[in-house]
Structure 1
Amino acid sequence: MVASQKWPIRVIVTDCDIRRISLDQKPSNLESLLDHLKVKLALPYDFKLQFEDPLFNNALCNLTDVSELPDRATLKILSLESPSSISSALSSPSTSDTEILYTSEEKYQMMRPDSWPSAFDIPEFSVDVNFRLRQGDLAYMKDGTRMDVSRDMKHVILERLAETMYKYTAYPTEEHCREVSSALIAKHPCLKQAGSPTGYCGWKNSIKFKMGNFRTKVRRSGMADVTANGNKRQRDFPEGEPSCSNIKRPKRSETNFLPNFPDGQNANTLESVRRQLESEAKKRLPDSTDVKKMMDQTFSLRRKEIVEEQPSVMMERWPALFTESQVFAEFYRVASKNLKKDFYEALDHHTTRLIDLFRKGVVGQSLGHLLQPINSQVSVSDSSLLPLYGSVLDSDTADDFTQVPVGVLNVMTSDMPPLISSVAVIVEGNLVMDDIPTTSQALCLLFGLICALHLDYPKGMKNTFEFIQKILLNIGQQKLSPKLQTLKNALLG
């Protein structure tokens, strides 16, 4: 029988962590009790329960039915996971049902190794929820009966989905939420919702709102990628910026958009490492091993400056970033992808077809249009510098690039016909890399710098860079403009 008043219980989480909590009422079944305890105790793992049985002098027995519990029960948590995977989560007790705790080492180790998957894999839930879903799926396959999902069960499902989604991104898009909800009812068809044309509209909206709540929880643990947006205008921050103002989030599905500082480090200690890195990078022959080690170590400081302060090109503070090896290394830190390998493999795969399309047909005209000079050009000697491609004679040394947002500059010889002697990269009016052997390599490095420096694609070249990002490198959501979709269809046709 369900009690009409609060139900106090004593819970042995570990030998050193014994808590007294109260539930609003005695749950009607074991599954509901497990769900309540997982939320109330903020336990990030699955477990079973034992209880002190008064019939046997309070010896511990496995709990199989809530009706066996006395009015003032003592329960013991038995984890179903390995001790090593939960030790840090239990290092400090908490009675909050809305707080997620991470140690400083866990925060740093939550560097995301993978980008959003092409097919989202629905995680396993708690033992009892998995059992109920299996029973529901069997009933659905037998006679089409949809499951009546309880509030507690829905909470567990959404919380687990949010945890899994956060491993890929803190700010999932509408399309991400659609993919997850679609995958959920594909794996568990008993969760299809009546009256929804897709069967998952309600789940999609619930997932979207749950991610907002989940960000609030991890923000309290100090996760940098969400604390950066923590002081927006709300009841607790009436003087803050509007909630929709300048939200700092990945532009191109970057996996490690704004990571936490390494364990035991802060802005001051990392600034000291940065100064050593700057000194080493400016040597005539810097030690590449030391440079890489210090670039790895200061990655979180660099991302904090780039994302939160949005400075102009930082060649003075981070000279090592503007070298070929570190452009590729930084891209891997940010996006978890091998830019050089993926770019050239895609280029090799598509070049022949691109040349064919460029030479003929409507698609060729569209592609040619992408590479035509933009209206606003900058005069450079006897030629012009396009916002993407341009050329100067190698004797010209005082050219003005201040109005060029990004560019690949071919340095030509004075021969007739002229030949390319080297290629340079321009970012925000600054010539940041030169003596690059080929134009394709310069374009690859330019794309890497745009991502590393968190720059917007210039308006006149948005299609060009989205072609590189979404078609060549397969990064981010694959929703394309009509022009690029037509090009992609032609390439793959």
Structure 2
Amino acid sequence: MTMEQKWPIRVIVTDCDIRRISLDQKPGNLESLLDHLKVKLALPYDFKLQFEDPLFNNALCNLTDLSELPDRATLKIMSLESLSSVLSTVSSPSTSDTEILYTSEEKSQMMRPDPWPSAFDIPDFSVDVNFRLRQGDLAYMKDGTRMDVSRDMKHVILERLAETMYKYTAYPTEEHCQEVASALIAKHPCLKEAGSPTGYCGWKNSIKFKMGNFRTKMRRSGMADVTVNGNKRRRDFPEGEPSCSNIKRPKRSETNFLPNFPDGANADTLESVRRQLESEAKKRLPDSAYVKKMMDQTLSLRRKEIVEEQPPVKRMMERWPALFTESQVFAEFHRVASKNLKKDFYEALDRHTTRLIDLFKSKKGVVGQSLDRLLQPIDTQTNDITTTRTAVLQCLPLYLGDDSGEFFLTCLVTDTAEDFTQVPVGVLAVMTEDRPPEISSIAIILEGNIVMDDIPTTSEALCLLFGLIYALHLDYPKGMKNTFEFIQKILLNLGQQKLSPKLQTLKNALLG
């Protein structure tokens, strides 16, 4: 008697939950398949199915007849609840008590919740690999014997590492790969390489290449942050851009650089939400809770537009007016970088203020004289934290060798109609006509447009500007690169790139 052959299928439950399962046999109809999958996957909701159609280069198509499926099929679960939520939200009126489009669990599935960790934790591997590593570590501790890693075992280790790294970033840097390799042999010393000066050079290179292979796999499954770079020149796509040309990837440790659309949503449904958001944001008194909800929902659409099309700032102001409000600048930074910008910025700045002032006062020569002039206000108003923060932030560019002359700008209240179209990035202080003049308000200029105004302090303007640079994926302003990298890498501890000599010296002085 012959055994009935099982039917293996690959099922995409969510973008971060892709499973391989086997059914006892191929069901006779679509309804039966839906019932089997609902039980097998323990799904508490109704859904429809899409499949990768080999006739159209494995593009997803709705499944209506099981005869359309190839022998080894890849299916995608499309939750009817999520889809109906999108459609109902698009058609519902703008009220503060409108139902949330996605639950926190659904958001965590489509977005990275955390930035790259300060210490990478090596994950557990399969049961057999864990056992062999444990035995290898015991042998290494006993007599220093290194493990002879088989090809299959190395594949399992690298695949698991790549999967874990992808949860933080699709494009790890050289430093990231080195950190993971170092952590691997620290946890499992039996994996140290005999001919390597560090013990992990080969592992680092293997991890780097494995991440490239893993990105290819994720690209085929439809992950947006790697699919965006899929049309590069290759043997079967000779008309594409060179492989090294204009790779779209996080530059400053953005955790959600280019997230996928939520399950059940597409560009059209999210564009309808965006139009509602635009209308709500232009009201005299917009519903802030509803605006935040819609901004959360449309992040993937907004990031796709910003990363792929790189629109001018003026167009973004027209399409996304809510993005240029204080609350949404900070909220967007948290969505993109998983950091509390306002809290972390001010806490770090205040923590280093005393030491920074001492360093500024110790500077000699022409630069020292200029720093002394900028520090004069805090000598007479020592208890005013706003004055202190402003003085420190204005001293930083001078101390780091930046040119802030075309960045920190001033004008009189009566000259607010002045033309700033030639200013790429700037913080504009609007001064009164009193003697001595006082700051009336602060504005932020991007690409010649005043994008935010009526900001009370220079420190808040600089903090908001930093958030906008992340939100709009802009380059740091020329002449102020050291200052903005100081904010990113030292104040906010974002990114693991090596510091320039000036920034490393300053960091050593602050922590010494």
- Alpha-carbon separation, structure 2, partners of 1:242 and 1:453: 25
Residue 453 of structure 1: aligned partner:
472
Residue 377 of structure 2: aligned partner:
none
**Paired AA for residue 443 in structure 1:** L
- Alpha-carbon separation, structure 2, partners of 1:321 and 1:142: 60
2:425–2:446 contact (8 Å) kept in structure 1: yes
Q: 1:195 to 1:99 in 2, by over 3 A?
A: farther
Residue among 401, 408, 431 paired with 1:412: 431
Residue 409 of structure 2: aligned partner:
390
Residue 211 of structure 2: aligned partner:
211
- Structure showing greater relative contact order (alpha-carbon pairs closer than 8 Å, 6 or more residues apart): 2
Residue 374 of structure 1: how far off its partner (Å): 9.8
Residue 319 of structure 2: aligned partner:
317
- Per-residue CA deviations over 1:118-175 (Å, capped at 9, x if unaligned) read 0000000000000000000001011111000000000000000000000000000000
Residue 459 of structure 1: how far off its partner (Å): 2.5
**Paired AA for residue 327 in structure 2:** S
- Per-residue CA deviations over 1:53-87 (Å, capped at 9, x if unaligned) read xxxxxxxxxxxxxxxxxxxxxxxxxxxxx9769x9
TM-score, normalization by structure 1:
0.78
- Per-residue CA deviations over 1:199-245 (Å, capped at 9, x if unaligned) read 00000000000000000001011000000000100012110000000
- Alpha-carbon separation, structure 2, partners of 1:447 and 1:441: 10
2:225–2:257 contact (8 Å) kept in structure 1: yes
2:400–2:502 contact (8 Å) kept in structure 1: no
Residue among 339, 342, 345 paired with 1:343: 345
Q: 1:212 to 1:375 in 2, by over 3 A?
A: closer
Greater helix share, 1 or 2?
A: 2
2:8–2:20 contact (8 Å) kept in structure 1: no
- Structure 1 unaligned residues grouped into runs of 5+: 1-8, 21-42, 48-81, 377-384
- Alpha-carbon separation, structure 2, partners of 1:101 and 1:170: 24
**Paired AA for residue 222 in structure 1:** G
- Alpha-carbon separation, structure 2, partners of 1:490 and 1:372: 13
Q: Does 1:371 align with 2:398?
A: yes
- Alpha-carbon separation, structure 1, partners of 2:400 and 2:359: 19
Tell me the percent identity: 79
- Which is worse superposed, 263-272 or 191-200? 263-272
User: How many residues align structurally?
Assistant: 415
Residue 234 of structure 2: aligned partner:
234
Residue 423 of structure 1: aligned partner:
442
**Paired AA for residue 297 in structure 1:** Q
Residue among 328, 332, 337 paired with 2:330: 328
- Alpha-carbon separation, structure 1, partners of 2:275 and 2:173: 38
Residue 103 of structure 1: how far off its partner (Å): 5.2
Residue 153 of structure 1: aligned partner:
153
- Alpha-carbon separation, structure 2, partners of 1:475 and 1:46: 37
Q: Does 1:164 align with 2:164?
A: yes
Residue 291 of structure 2: aligned partner:
291
Residue 91 of structure 2: aligned partner:
none
**Paired AA for residue 338 in structure 2:** S
- For residue 301 of structure 1, give the secondary structure of its aligned residue in structure 2: helix
Q: 1:234 to 1:107 in 2, by over 3 A?
A: farther
Residue 472 of structure 1: how far off its partner (Å): 0.5
**Paired AA for residue 393 in structure 1:** L
Instruction: Please show how residues 242-321 of structure 1 align to structure 2 within 5 Å.
Output: 242-313=242-313, 314-321=316-323
Residue 491 of structure 1: aligned partner:
510
Q: 1:92 to 1:408 in 2, by over 3 A?
A: closer
**Paired AA for residue 282 in structure 2:** K
- For residue 139 of structure 1, give the secondary structure of its aligned residue in structure 2: helix
- Alpha-carbon separation, structure 2, partners of 1:429 and 1:468: 23
Residue 11 of structure 1: how far off its partner (Å): 10
- Per-residue CA deviations over 1:431-450 (Å, capped at 9, x if unaligned) read 00000011100000000000
Q: 1:241 to 1:103 in 2, by over 3 A?
A: farther
2:400–2:482 contact (8 Å) kept in structure 1: no
Residue 27 of structure 1: aligned partner:
none
Residue among 350, 354, 357 paired with 1:355: 357
- For residue 445 of structure 2, give the secondary structure of its aligned residue in structure 1: strand
Q: 1:19 to 1:287 in 2, by over 3 A?
A: closer
- Alpha-carbon separation, structure 1, partners of 2:127 and 2:353: 51
1:327–1:448 contact (8 Å) kept in structure 2: yes
Q: 1:368 to 1:397 in 2, by over 3 A?
A: closer
Q: 1:107 to 1:283 in 2, by over 3 A?
A: closer
Q: 1:202 to 1:429 in 2, by over 3 A?
A: same
Residue 375 of structure 1: how far off its partner (Å): 10
- Which is worse superposed, 195-204 or 267-276? 267-276
User: Which 4+ stretches in 1 moved above 4 angstroms?
Assistant: 9-12, 43-47, 82-85, 91-96, 98-108, 362-369, 372-376
CA-based RMSD of the aligned residues comes to 3.4
Residue among 485, 490, 494 paired with 1:475: 494
Residue 18 of structure 1: how far off its partner (Å): 3.8
Q: 1:486 to 1:319 in 2, by over 3 A?
A: same
